[in-house]
Amino acid sequence: MMKNAKVVKALGLKAEAQERDRRSRLSGKWRIAHKLTLASVLMILLTLVAGGVGLWQVFAIGQAIGGAREKEQQLAWSLEMLAGGHRLVAALDRMLLTQDPLLASTEVATSLGTLKAYMGILQESGGEVGALGLLEEIQVAYGELRQAVSEVDVLARQELWTEAGVVLAQKVRPANKHMGLLLRRLVQQADRDVEAAAARTQVVVREAALLLAVLVVLTTAIALGWRQFVFRGLSLSISELRQGVARISSGDLEYKLDVRTGDEVEELGDEFNKMAEDLAGLIGSLEQRVAARTRGLQTAAEVARATTSVLVPDELLGQTVDLVRERFNLYYVGLFLLDEERRFAVLRAGTGEAGQSMMEQGHRLEVGGESMIGWCTARGEARIALDVGEEVIHFDNPLLPETRSEMALPLRSRGRVIGAMTVQSVEEAAFDEADIAVMQTVADQVAVAIDNARLFAETQAALEEVEVAHRRYLREAWTGYLPTVRKTSYETEHPGAAPLGDTVLPEIRQAVERQSATALTVNGDEGEMGYSALVAPIALRGEIIGALGIYDDEARQWTNDEIAITEAVAERMALAAENLRLLDETQRRATRE
């Protein structure tokens, strides 16, 4: 997480301390102007030339640093446009999943507008010839993506969801993937441009070293007559300055010039030290920001994968807060969901012992109340507290005493706020606007996943209710139908076989209780014959209405094929019996009418 305010404050204090130290060291010594006034006007002019050259080189290096910053900004825009493409595809996925054409004019339109804005910024930024060619390719890819999205939009407004899904898969995703590849190439090009800017800066430093070396030679030749007075103090310090500049120009940006002459040469050394610090800070900041944004996007993608694979709401919330806390190295992460009256935001998941304790206590915050979660859920906007001690509406939680900065983000799904996510850090000024963009992407993905999990649970419950009602209907229908069937038929192929009548054999009862096919082998006692039985329940949509039994007057083992055939016949008999019942019911109804 970025800590820009803290870093700027520290750098400002450091610069003030260095300036006070420099002035104290210069106050008791002669400046070059005093020395060369006593020596000659020529020495004064030469010194002014040296100072001018140094300032010119500093100006040139400043221009190089400015160019590197422009490339860094282009890199950031490229990454934002890459993320915007993913958000656009995600918005289309949500539109097709919810079959809500209104999303085409909200989330999809917003995502397209964002892409268009970043495309315009990238075009205005320009660049080298290679980058301009790549920007033209990105413009073409963006046009193809926009055309494909327009086709999906038209199909969605016509509610042709299947065709819209086909266009999304065959055109939008490939176009977004192609544009992403081009943007990654642009990112690589920007990286190379930054390296080239650094190389140009080093060239300028080397030129400065060369010019300073020339000035050292001239100073040595002119100052031979004043060796004891000027040379030991000035030429030696310039030689040290030249050596330090050479080390800096060779890439050793951590090296510090230690020139203590009490004159402009020392100031020049300080300027070079400051320049080296700025350049090192710029390069390090660029690498850190790129790495941080990359980690943020990777974490957002990881959260998206994790949330789409879990459909149990409580498990989904728990995994989300743990994953966000671990990946972003945060102190605490909590997820709140609005209650049915939308009056309170109730904590549903929190990290650590504090989160568990608050959930056990039923922790909740009033919507629109004096808390960042209340403010966020009431307005549907993110809010940052860089210093919670100075935040007006911060809720001081005694279970989280180490919180120094906090960010609250709304959970939005289908245009409605369903809750909020709080992320807290032990450092002040731990978040910035870029962090809001990354974390809001994560929050939106979590909100959609929560909504999907809720819809899945409601659908499952509705299906279970329908299944229970249907089984109850079948049970009642067969309970009333069986007494009306008075005739029982028997067909015998072996003489002497007696009908069972109303007898329920034990193996039939066992098969009904198990609700699965039962195979039995009974060995007879002395003088008695054993037998084998295979009984399969006749079940209609989970409701047992009878049983099919097969018996053999000898002990045997039933094969898997015989069991499978018996179960298949029982299923057919269940359907046939239900059709006969429905036919009889229809005929009786027709007779009554």
pLDDT value of position 6: 45
**Mean pLDDT in residue range 19-45:** 61
Cβ count within 10 A of residue 535? 25
**Mean pLDDT in residue range 433-437:** 80
**Mean pLDDT in residue range 52-70:** 71
pLDDT at 14 over 60: no
DSSP 8-class letter at 557: -
Q: Are 360 and 326 contacting, i.e. CB atoms less than 8 angstroms apart?
A: no
pLDDT-derived band of residue 34, with 50, 70 and 90 as boundaries?
Answer: low
**3-state class (DSSP) for residue 83:** helix
**Mean pLDDT in residue range 447-455:** 82
Query: β-strands 518-522, 531-540: how paired?
Result: antiparallel
pLDDT at 134 over 60: yes
Contacts of 276 (CB under 8 A, 6+ apart): 248, 253, 255, 256
DSSP 8-class letter at 542: T
For tokens 């009306």, what's the residue? 484
Domain 48-208+273-297 sits in CATH at 1.20.120.30
pLDDT value of position 7: 44
**Mean pLDDT in residue range 101-124:** 72
DSSP 8-class letter at 342: S
Cα angle 469, 474, 480; round to 5: 125
pLDDT value of position 25: 53
**3-state class (DSSP) for residue 79:** helix
The total number of residues written for the chain in this structure: 593
pLDDT value of position 2: 42
pLDDT-derived band of residue 4, with 50, 70 and 90 as boundaries?
Answer: very low
pLDDT at 345 over 60: yes
Surface-to-core class of residue 451, CB atoms within 10 Å of its CB (0-12 exposed, 13-18 middle, 19+ buried): buried
H helices present in 329-432, as ranges: 352-360, 372-379
pLDDT at 129 over 80: no
**Mean pLDDT in residue range 301-328:** 77
DSSP 8-class letter at 534: E
- Rounded CA gap, 370 and 395, in Å? 7
- Rounded CA gap, 377 and 22, in Å? 53
The phi-psi region of residue 118 (left if phi > 0; otherwise alpha if psi is between -120 and 50; otherwise beta) is alpha
H helices present in 342-393, as ranges: 352-360, 372-379
Q: Are 395 and 373 contacting, i.e. CB atoms less than 8 angstroms apart?
A: yes
Q: What residue spans define the domains of the chain? A: 48-208+273-297, 310-458, 499-592
pLDDT-derived band of residue 9, with 50, 70 and 90 as boundaries?
Answer: very low
DSSP 8-class letter at 555: -
pLDDT at 232 over 80: no
**3-state class (DSSP) for residue 388:** coil
**Mean pLDDT in residue range 562-575:** 85
CATH class of the structural domain 310-458: alpha beta
Nearest to 254 by CA among 270, 273, 235: 273
DSSP 8-class letter at 483: G
**Mean pLDDT in residue range 261-267:** 68
Q: Do domains 310-458 and 499-592 have the same CATH topology?
A: yes
pLDDT at 209 over 90: no
pLDDT-derived band of residue 296, with 50, 70 and 90 as boundaries?
Answer: low
pLDDT digits (tens, 9 = 90+) for 170-196: 887 887 787 778 777 777 777 777 777
pLDDT at 199 over 70: yes
Surface-to-core class of residue 484, CB atoms within 10 Å of its CB (0-12 exposed, 13-18 middle, 19+ buried): exposed
Query: pTM score > 0.75 for this model?
Result: no
- Rounded CA gap, 527 and 445, in Å? 75
Mean of the per-residue pLDDT values for the chain? 75
Surface-to-core class of residue 305, CB atoms within 10 Å of its CB (0-12 exposed, 13-18 middle, 19+ buried): exposed
pLDDT-derived band of residue 561, with 50, 70 and 90 as boundaries?
Answer: confident
Identify the residue with better confidence: 272 or 414: 414
Cβ count within 10 A of residue 133? 12
- Rounded CA gap, 567 and 548, in Å? 9
- Rounded CA gap, 350 and 347, in Å? 7
Q: What percent of the chain has pLDDT over 90?
A: 10
- Rounded CA gap, 6 and 373, in Å? 25
pLDDT-derived band of residue 50, with 50, 70 and 90 as boundaries?
Answer: low
Q: Are 292 and 264 contacting, i.e. CB atoms less than 8 angstroms apart?
A: no
C-alpha of 327 from chain center: 10
C-alpha of 249 from chain center: 41
Task: Choose from 220-234, 255-269, 380-394 the range with maximum mean pLDDT.
Answer: 380-394
Least confident of 311-315, 381-385, 484-488: 484-488
For tokens 């994968």, what's the residue? 305
Identify the residue with better confidence: 461 or 236: 461
Amino acid letter for position 527? G
Q: Are 544 and 504 contacting, i.e. CB atoms less than 8 angstroms apart?
A: no
Fold category of 499-592 in CATH: Beta-Lactamase (3.30.450)
**Mean pLDDT in residue range 486-500:** 58
Identify the residue with better confidence: 355 or 165: 355
Identify the residue with better confidence: 488 or 397: 397
pLDDT at 498 over 60: no
**Mean pLDDT in residue range 296-319:** 72
Contacts of 148 (CB under 8 A, 6+ apart): 167, 168, 171, 172, 175
pLDDT at 450 over 70: yes
- Rounded CA gap, 135 and 119, in Å? 9
**Mean pLDDT in residue range 476-490:** 67
DSSP 8-class letter at 170: I
Contacts of 62 (CB under 8 A, 6+ apart): 275
pLDDT value of position 424: 93
Long-range CB contact pairs, 230-239, < 8 A, 24+: 230/35, 230/36, 230/39, 230/43, 233/35, 233/261, 234/32, 234/35, 234/261, 234/263, 234/265, 237/261, 237/265, 237/266, 238/50, 238/212, 238/265
- Across the beta sheet with 518-522, the strand order is 518-522, 531-540, 543-552
- Rounded CA gap, 145 and 157, in Å? 18
Tokens for 199?
A: 């190389």
Cβ count within 10 A of residue 577? 16
pLDDT-derived band of residue 443, with 50, 70 and 90 as boundaries?
Answer: confident
- Rounded CA gap, 68 and 76, in Å? 12
Tokens for 63?
A: 């221009």
Cross-strand bridge partners of residue 539:
544
pLDDT at 60 over 60: yes
